[in-house]
Chains A and B, each alone.
Chain A
Amino acid sequence: MSATSARPSHAAQPSGSAFILKKALISAAVALVLFSLMIGIRTEAGPQGGLIYWTRFGDLAALVGTVFGGSIIIELLRQWWGPVDKEHIVPKPVQAAMSFAGRWLAPALLVFAFLVPVIFYNQRYILDLSILVLTYVMLGWGLNVVVGLAGLLDLGYVAFYAVGAYSYALLATNFGLSFWVCLPLAGILAAFWGVLLGFPVLRLRGDYLAIVTLAFGEIIRLVIINWQSLTGGPNGVSGIPRPTLFGIPLDNSDDGLAAKLGIDFSPTHRIVFLFYLILAMALLTNWVTIRLRRLPIGRAWEALREDEVACRALGINVTTTKLTAFATGAMFGGFAGAFFATRQGFISPESFTFQESALVLAIVVLGGMGSQLGVALAALTMIGGFELFRGFDQYRMLVFGIAMVLLMIWRPRGLIGHRAPTVFLERNQAISSDLVKEGHG
Chain B
Amino acid sequence: MSGDPILTVDRLMMRFGGIVAVNELSFTAERRKITALIGPNGAGKTTVFNCITGFYRPSGGAIRLTNDDGRTMQLERLGDFRITKQAKVARTFQNIRLFPGMTALENLMVAQHNALMRASGLTLLGLIGAPSWRAAEERAIELARTWLDRVGLLSRADDAAGNLAYGDQRRLEIARAMCTEPVLLCLDEPAAGLNARESGGLNELLLSIRNEQGTSILLIEHDMSVVMEISDHVVVMDYGVKIAEGSPQAVRDDPKVIAAYLGADEEEAIAVMESGT
Contact = CB atoms under 8 A, between A and B. Distances in A.
A292 to B, nearest CB: 7
B116 interface: yes
Contact of A431 (B82, B83, B101): B101
Give the one of B110, B127, B163 with max A CB within 10 A. B110
A296 B106 CA distance: 10
B81 to A, nearest CB: 5
Contacts of B157: 424-426
Interface stretch (A255-263, A312-320, A382-390): A312-320
Contacts of B180: 314-315
A94 interface: no
A295 B123 contact: yes
Interface residues of A, number: 37
Interface stretch (B39-47, B85-93, B201-209, B228-236): B85-93
A137 B102 CA distance: 26
Interface stretch (A186-194, A297-305, A347-355, A358-366): A297-305
Interface in A407-427: 419, 421-427
B72 interface: no
B163 A314 contact: no
A295 B140 CA distance: 12
Nearest to A428: B158
B81 A316 contact: yes
A309 B111 CA distance: 13
A13 interface: no
Contact of A316 (B98, B113, B123, B141): B113
Nearest to A312: B81
B78 to A, nearest CB: 11
Nearest to A318: B81
B80 interface: yes
Contact of B127 (A291, A300, A435, A437): A291
A187 to B, nearest CB: 15
A297 B118 CA distance: 11
A314 B111 contact: yes
Contacts of B263: none
A312 B50 CA distance: 12
B110 A314 contact: yes
B156 to A, nearest CB: 10
B105 A302 contact: no
B158 A426 contact: yes
A306 interface: yes
Nearest to A324: B123
A318 B81 CA distance: 8
Contact of A313 (B91, B141, B163): B91
Given A309-B93, A310-B99, A432-B160, 6 more contacts: A296-B113, A306-B100, A309-B97, A421-B102, A435-B163, A436-B100
Considering the complex of A and B, which 7 residue pairs feature the smallest CB-CB distances, nearest first?
A315-B84, A436-B101, A306-B99, A315-B85, A435-B162, A296-B116, A310-B97
